[in-house]
């Protein structure tokens, strides 16, 4: 796709500084900018690359004042991060083909109900009494069980598995290998030390505008529902156990694991490899840094927590300084 500086300024509501006919056909990080590429500058630590970049077009904030000559044509926008996000979405949407096709090598039933312009790829399966909303894309080798409710404008990448009875909202993206609705890890000990499986008869309810990364899993509830709120972002290789509730707009990085029946508030942020014990409650706007371990309730909103078990970040750094000094002295 060819993008001119003039078009970008119109699309992103910015202004051109340089050649408005400059053309870019690819994206590149600012440090790798070459002729024919488009880059952006938003983080001050990358400013030296602004003056060495060979990119054809550079998106910058309207307040940026260069200290040296800048070779690329600059498109000035209100916020460079937001602008590049909007542009990437625009390009991705353009690349999506208008899909109306349902492959003859896929399988569905008379009781399956499809909305308008639904795409179903080869070797995918959509079960009895399942409904799929308008403009949803079901790529190849996807399994969707019976009695599911799937919203509009969803994208299910190859290899997604959705068990029967799941409910998924609008604008949901599930990446390859995601499994929604497997049984939770529920086992009762027998007198002889062996384990008896506890059946899980609930489901998973996923809100609108949710994205779940590759090979992540969300288990069905033992009873009632495991709930993923609106706007939630879940990275690759995350584990959400049975009966967990994730509040709206919470985000978690890769390898986060949340044990059963935990309630996570809204607008929380979890770094990579965060582990959360079962049956705890986490307040809204909580930030847990990478490899943080949560073993009890977090009641105060807006805390930034570090360590395992987690504690206030400032207290943790003071404690870290003390035990590091003790180790150095020995």
270-289 pLDDT per residue, tens: 999 999 999 999 999 999 99
CA 149, 218, 277, 298 dihedral sign is negative
Percent helix, percent strand, percent coil in the chain, to nearest 5: 15, 30, 55
Q: Name the average pLDDT for the chain.
A: 94
What's the pLDDT at 155?
95
CATH of segment(s) 3-95: 3.40.1390.10
What proportion of the chain, given as a percentage, has pLDDT over 90? 89
Please report the pLDDT score of residue 327 as a whole number.
Answer: 74
- At 228 the pLDDT is 98
Spatial contact of 66 and 49, defined as CB atoms under 8 Å apart? no
pLDDT reported for residue 96: 65
**For position 330, what pLDDT does the model report?**
64
**Can you count the helices (H) and strands (E) in the chain?**
4, 38
Q: Is the dihedral of CA 85, 90, 236, 165 positive or negative?
A: positive
Q: Are 12 and 86 in contact (CB under 8 A)?
A: yes
128 catalytic residue (yes or no): no
Mean pLDDT of the region 236-256: 98
| pLDDT at residue number 229 | 98
The per-residue pLDDT for 34 is: 94
Residue 288 confidence (pLDDT): 97
Helices (H), the chain: 5-12, 47-52, 80-95, 313-329
pLDDT at 321: 85
Q: Using the predicted structure, report yes or no on whether residue 99 has a pLDDT greater than 60.
A: no
Residues of the chain with CATH 3.40.1390.10: 3-95
Mean pLDDT value across residues 228-249: 98
Closest CA to 136 of 118, 161, 157: 118
From 242, 249, 279, 285, the catalytic residue: 242
Q: What distances in angstroms separate CA 313 from CA 70, 282, 302, one per listed residue?
A: 41, 16, 12
Residue the block writes with tokens 């602008």: 83
| Whether the Cβ atoms of residue 33 and residue 58 lie closer than 8 Å to each other | yes
Looking at residue 318, what is its pLDDT?
87
Using DSSP's 3-state secondary structure scheme, residue 124 falls into: coil
CA distance 302 to 318: 20
Q: What is the pLDDT of residue 276?
A: 97
Tallying the residues shown for the chain, one arrives at 330
DSSP 8-state assignment for residue 198: P
What is the tens place of the pLDDT at every residue in 30-76?
Answer: 999 999 999 999 999 999 999 999 999 999 999 999 999 999 999 99
Instruction: List where CATH 2.160.10.10 sits in the chain.
Output: 113-315
Domain 113-315 class, CATH top level:
mainly beta
Q: How many CB atoms lie within 10 A of CB 315?
A: 12
Q: From residue 277, how far is each of 2, 75, 251, 318 by CA, in Å?
A: 50, 48, 18, 26
């Amino acid at each position: 796709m060819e993008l001119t500086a003039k078009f970008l300024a119109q699309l992103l509501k910015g202004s051109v500084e340089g050649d408005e006919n400059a053309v870019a056909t690819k994206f590149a990080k600012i440090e790798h900018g070459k002729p024919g590429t488009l880059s952006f500058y938003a983080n001050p630590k990358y400013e030296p690359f602004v003056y060495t970049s060979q990119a054809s077009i550079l998106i910058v904030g309207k307040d940026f004042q260069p200290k040296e000559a800048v070779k690329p044509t600059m498109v000035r926008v209100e916020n460079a991060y937001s602008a590049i996000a909007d542009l990437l979405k625009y390009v991705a949407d353009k690349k999506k083909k208008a899909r109306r096709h349902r492959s003859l090598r896929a399988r569905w039933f008379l009781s399956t109900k499809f909305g308008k312009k639904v795409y179903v790829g080869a070797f995918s399966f959509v079960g009895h009494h399942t409904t799929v909303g308008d403009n949803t894309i079901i790529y190849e080798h996807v399994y969707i069980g019976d009695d599911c409710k799937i919203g509009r404008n969803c994208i299910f990448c190859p290899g997604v598995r959705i068990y029967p009875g799941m409910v998924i909202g609008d604008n949901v993206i599930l990446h390859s290998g995601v499994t929604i609705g497997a049984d939770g890890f529920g086992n009762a000990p027998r007198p002889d030390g062996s384990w008896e499986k506890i059946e899980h008869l609930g489901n998973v309810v996923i809100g609108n505008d949710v994205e779940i990364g590759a090979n992540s899993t969300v288990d069905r509830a033992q009873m009632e529902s495991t709930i993923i709120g609106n706007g939630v972002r879940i990275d690759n290789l995350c584990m959400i156990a049975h009966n967990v509730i994730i509040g709206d707009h919470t985000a978690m990085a890769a390898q986060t694991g949340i044990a059963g029946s935990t309630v996570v508030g809204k607008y929380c942020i979890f770094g990579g490899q965060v582990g959360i014990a079962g049956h705890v409650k986490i307040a809204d706007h909580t930030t847990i840094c990478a490899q943080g371990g949560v073993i009890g309730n977090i009641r105060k909103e807006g805390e930034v927590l570090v360590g395992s078990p987690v504690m206030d970040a400032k207290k943790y750094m003071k404690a870290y300084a003390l035990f590091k000094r003790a180790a150095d002295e020995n």
